[in-house]
Structure 1
Amino acid sequence: MCKLKLLDLPVEILSEILIHLDHLYILRCSSVCRQLHALVTTSLALQYRIELASDGLIDGHPGGPFSTTAARMEILLERRAAWRALRPKQRTAVALAGRCHAYELVGGLFAKALEDVGAARRLVAAWLPGCGGERRIFRVDDLGVRIKDFALDPSQDLIVLLEHRPAAGSSSSSAVGADICVHLRRLSSGVVAPHPAAKVPVLCRLGLGPVHGCMIQIVEDIVGMYFWMPFHAVLIWNWMTGDELVFVQEDETPERIWDFSFLSPRAYMVTTLKDGGEIYIYRFGDSPSHKRPTHVATLHLPLPHDERLLLELTTTTGPFLAYPPPDVPFASARNARVHVFTLHHDPVTQRGRWQPACFVMHNQTLMHYVDAYREEAGAAADVPWEEWGPHGTRFFVLAMGFQWLRYVHGTRVVCPVLQPSGESRVEVLDFNVHASRAPTIAEKLAAVRLGIDAERPPEGARLVCEPSLFSADMVFANEVFTALPYYTAPAPGQCEPYVGYMIDEQRLLGLKVRSLVSGSVGWPPRSVSLIFLFGNHVGQPVYGGRPW
């Protein structure tokens, strides 16, 4: 009996088999023989899978306005060309009135809580416009509680409200005596109804004391909080089950802790100012009985300069979405992200003259230590700068510090970089860099549709692969070389009076703040965003079967 070989299968069946492989395995298969190479290079579905992974993306939900693979591939290549050239398809403006107490930009939704004597009870938000979609602004005039902060995940129809409780038991909430109350609400209900996936709609914690400085983040089924005033602590819940998974108090945190960020739904890091700066990496499990995270590694920054004092070491990354939004063809993969660490040093002899700088690294560099940790090994890895920093990071001197968050999304960062001439230039840095190759015919056609020359770099753009020197007299005891490759291009609107930039999957936002009363001082009550659109966004968000 004749045995059927893999290559004897019909092309359609072979293609269906390969589509379930990782993009790297697909590429390996294409190098096995001419038949597989021809199959991979001529299959639109396989090429789309490879191009998605190349840009750090995952496919969106089936159907919708981009139901065919051909349409999605066309949009992907056009968006790639638009971001490379920073040539927006559309420019528009959105104005949100009211004093800003807290704000968020996640999944195309920009929201801010309106200031009301140190807290907020009202919310204003806008679904930002996209190519083919209209912006929509909505308001919530009474959240039912005064809030200190909030977080969003539109892909889960979730908004998390951190209730403002200046003293234990001082709120009108039913959780009398609790210091921390976190309300889990549905976005589509007008931010009023509890989220149906939350077993406990209000998460409470006793015994922390009044909280003045804190932040809150959502990562899939996790809600995490970091407190820095008047005490340092880390508190993490599974918001769906209501289980408290991590609680670390001040005396259990690393010495001189400064900031916190998630790496994944089960891993996080904190930064410290000790010994010129350190990064502590932790992982945790699903059991509510063991609330202490596992310390897996400590990464050390270069030795500090004797004449410099490290005052801040902040870290930020893009928002986490549990799923691609329902109305987009694709979205950033969770692991395809970078973290930006901002350092503020003060000269010891000339206090008050800050020198802002930052460095960027991939999430996978940090997650390597989480994945490599073994319980039986016992102690956490202690990693000197020389083993992880020179090839895993890139340092920049900043013209100024960051005034607004959400300047990172996926592998892109928008920031004010100090040029060798001493001038400031806002640049979009992209750390998703691959080996150089000539553009394909499909890429050329996508660029032509946008009026872009795919073979000529945009003015001011460059690919940086060579190491750069961070001078010793700036911050550290010795000269520091970093070599993480990146692509950079000047952001549009350089001459506009923007107070900051934000970035997301398909937009670059230039932020302005205005006062409604001429000559007034203080925090301006009106914010205006000029939006540069680089992607397609069609249709209205729908949750629970109805638009909102």
Structure 2
Amino acid sequence: MSTIAMSRTRPIIKWDSGLLFRLPDELLVQVLEELDFRTLARCRQVCKLLLTIINGAAALQYKIELGVAGMENGPSRAPFGTADRLARLKKHQQAWDALQSHEPIRWISMEERGVWELYGNVLAQAKDPTTLCFQQLPSIIRGIDSKEWTLENFDFVIRDFGMDPAQDLLVLVQSPHASIHEPYRIHLRHLSSGERHSIASTNAILIHSSRTDNYSFTTIQVSGDLLGILFADPVEDDVQLIVWNWTTGTRICRVIDEDIGSFAFLTSRHVLLALAGPDYDEDVLGPVLFVIDVFQHAGTGTDTLLQSDYLCKFSLPQLSEQVIHYSVLIRSDPAPAWKPHPDLKVPFYTARHERLLVLTLNVIEETRRFRSFLLLVPSSTLTYRIDAGASASDRRVFQWEDWGPTGTRLIRAPAQHTRVWVCHVFGMKFAFKHIANDKTEICIMDFNWLPVMRQKAEDSDDLELNLKDQMTTIRSGRIFENPVSTSLPYRSRSIVLDLPSGEGPIPLTAVMLSEDSLIMVADMPGIRKFGIITY
């Protein structure tokens, strides 16, 4: 029992820990349910009683498994009880750990027009200038049905498009008429029906005026209420990142800089940008990542200027003087505010607090040789430093030596690494193809380190995780000024594509990744199709 000893200042409470264990097991489970998964895992090591209670309560086991897997619980109205969710979650993780699918590869045709998107388990393609075709990729484990639908007969030519299945949102960029130099119109439609989106403002159209009709749209990304579009016309040196609140139609931010190469939403208010070409710092030769607060000038009509308005920047490894040009492409899925559409009623989904950023560094040497490297960065590597310096002044600079060697992993890009089929990351996983001994492999690098930590804590050898935690060094004097060492740990696994006898090797162009599927891309003359492997 507890006793109280009086002091001159305030009572000193001495707690008898035995009281906790006198509670009925049902009440003790309710107390433990208030703990986060890390604390629950520690409680299992306190005593046999807590170990027995936690191991015997599906709700507590489920919370731990969610946290370790990097997942969040689905809606309560989903048709799954706690024990069923736990069993499905374990099965989902085991399938990805072994890359073992119990479903045959499903092949679908690739449309000829070449405009496509993959996001949130939906693969979309443009069939013609006014028609889009959609495939909802299934998952038996998470209870997602396969679905196909087509939206056609739009009354304008579709230049490009993006989507967010979580909000039933389709973003259509209308091709302007060059002869009359009209502004760009961005149409906000329901992904399921093609009708104007019901929660978008007034006419569900955003307007962007410009002085060029030759924009390309390297990135169209939605994160909650925010829609970001990168308009790029390098010939006219006109590159702009526009961020709207798509529900109100309000322009939140405009960043103008001819060297912007790519962007990604880092948090609900921060955008990460990468530039191509020379750095703004004269004493640093190499690429830099800029972080801006999109709400810094919201409502003022003032443009955001990278040279003066950035929140902070992260220097990348210094390049050799033999590099004459470079660019950085940022990819990360899903967006920070991602949640599956509630109608899917999934039992669990990829957590939003941590995502992998895949940065493709393309460089051209003096000899005109083209080289590519991949820098893999958990979002927390950046957000931790942003949060830690939140009270400091803007324009903070994080040098590579202070964040890169332990917080990232730099690798040489796989042979024939694609710059087209770039949806190769989801959550904390990165997928790519590898050819060895005339065999094509699909490889996964998984940067969720929690299963490893749990296995080490439990001293278990039950699961082969293929750990890669050694520091590696890339020595390329023609690319980097100094050797670049990185040590971020990851798990590695792969499968060899095994087709029935007589079909021959798969002419695989690339591999893409969604929450439940690997998507093989065969994009060669005479063979254009997608192969879906579902887990």
TM-score, normalising length from structure 2?
0.83
Partner of 1:152: 163
In structure 2, which of residues 235, 246, 254 is the aligned counterpart of residue 247 of structure 1?
A: 254
In structure 2, which of residues 322, 325, 343 is the aligned counterpart of residue 307 of structure 1?
A: 322
- The structural deviation recorded for 1:285 is 2.7
Partner of 1:540: none
Unaligned runs of 5+ in 1: 171-176, 445-453, 519-523, 535-548
SS of 2:108's partner is strand
Q: Tell whether 2:86 aligns with 1:86.
A: no
SS of 1:264's partner is coil
Q: Tell whether 2:43 aligns with 1:43.
A: no
Classify 1:422/1:433 alpha carbon distance in 2 versus 1 (closer, same or farther; 3 Å): farther
SS of 1:322's partner is coil
Partner of 1:538: none
Decide whether the 8 Å contact of 2:440 with 2:496 is kept in 1.
no
SS of 2:311's partner is strand
**Partner Cα distance (2:382, 2:438) in 1:** 33
Classify 1:168/1:381 alpha carbon distance in 2 versus 1 (closer, same or farther; 3 Å): farther
Partner of 1:108: 121
Partner of 1:284: 294
In structure 2, which of residues 23, 26, 46 is the aligned counterpart of residue 12 of structure 1?
A: 26
**Partner Cα distance (1:478, 1:439) in 2:** 35
Decide whether the 8 Å contact of 2:134 with 2:150 is kept in 1.
yes
In structure 2, which of residues 416, 421, 443 is the aligned counterpart of residue 427 of structure 1?
A: 443
Partner of 2:423: 406
Q: Tell whether 2:278 aligns with 1:268.
A: no
**Partner Cα distance (2:463, 2:35) in 1:** 34
In structure 2, which of residues 514, 522, 525 is the aligned counterpart of residue 512 of structure 1?
A: 522
Decide whether the 8 Å contact of 2:421 with 2:511 is kept in 1.
yes
**AA paired with 2:169?**
L
Classify 1:77/1:310 alpha carbon distance in 2 versus 1 (closer, same or farther; 3 Å): farther
SS of 1:90's partner is coil
**Partner Cα distance (1:379, 1:154) in 2:** 35
In structure 2, which of residues 190, 204, 208 is the aligned counterpart of residue 205 of structure 1?
A: 208
Q: Which moved more, 1:476-485 or 1:363-372?
A: 363-372
In structure 2, which of residues 176, 185, 189 is the aligned counterpart of residue 185 of structure 1?
A: 189
**Partner Cα distance (2:463, 2:70) in 1:** 24
- The structural deviation recorded for 1:363 is 0.8
Decide whether the 8 Å contact of 1:156 with 1:322 is kept in 2.
no
Partner of 1:236: 243
In structure 2, which of residues 482, 497, 507 is the aligned counterpart of residue 493 of structure 1?
A: 497
Decide whether the 8 Å contact of 1:233 with 1:247 is kept in 2.
yes
**Partner Cα distance (2:132, 2:212) in 1:** 26
Decide whether the 8 Å contact of 1:428 with 1:488 is kept in 2.
yes
SS of 2:329's partner is strand
- The structural deviation recorded for 1:504 is 1.0
SS of 1:81's partner is helix
In structure 2, which of residues 432, 441, 461 is the aligned counterpart of residue 415 of structure 1?
A: 432
In structure 2, which of residues 56, 72, 75 is the aligned counterpart of residue 58 of structure 1?
A: 72
Residues 521-541 of structure 1 show CA distances to partners (whole Å, capped at 9, x for unaligned) of: xxx7xx42211111xxxxxxx
SS of 1:248's partner is strand
Classify 1:25/1:296 alpha carbon distance in 2 versus 1 (closer, same or farther; 3 Å): farther
**AA paired with 2:103?**
Q
- The structural deviation recorded for 1:304 is 0.9
Decide whether the 8 Å contact of 2:376 with 2:410 is kept in 1.
yes
Residues 120-150 of structure 1 show CA distances to partners (whole Å, capped at 9, x for unaligned) of: 3110111223337653322222122212221
Classify 1:472/1:34 alpha carbon distance in 2 versus 1 (closer, same or farther; 3 Å): same
In structure 1, which of residues 250, 259, 262 is the aligned counterpart of residue 262 of structure 2?
A: 259
Q: Tell whether 2:348 aligns with 1:330.
A: yes
- The two structures, once aligned, show a CA RMSD in angstroms of 3.1
Decide whether the 8 Å contact of 1:392 with 1:484 is kept in 2.
yes
Higher RCO (Cα < 8 Å, 6 or more apart): 1
- The structural deviation recorded for 1:223 is 0.4
Decide whether the 8 Å contact of 2:110 with 2:530 is kept in 1.
no
Partner of 1:502: 512
Residues 230-257 of structure 1 show CA distances to partners (whole Å, capped at 9, x for unaligned) of: 411111011112221101223xx7xx33
Partner of 2:90: 77
User: How many residues matched?
Assistant: 489
Classify 1:268/1:301 alpha carbon distance in 2 versus 1 (closer, same or farther; 3 Å): same
**Partner Cα distance (1:368, 1:291) in 2:** 28
In structure 1, which of residues 125, 130, 144 is the aligned counterpart of residue 134 of structure 2?
A: 125
**Partner Cα distance (1:22, 1:292) in 2:** 42
- The structural deviation recorded for 1:101 is 3.5
Classify 1:390/1:141 alpha carbon distance in 2 versus 1 (closer, same or farther; 3 Å): same
SS of 1:374's partner is coil
SS of 1:100's partner is coil
Unaligned runs of 5+ in 2: 4-14, 280-284, 499-504
Decide whether the 8 Å contact of 1:511 with 1:529 is kept in 2.
yes
SS of 2:38's partner is helix
SS of 2:310's partner is strand
Decide whether the 8 Å contact of 1:439 with 1:455 is kept in 2.
no
- The structural deviation recorded for 1:169 is 5.2
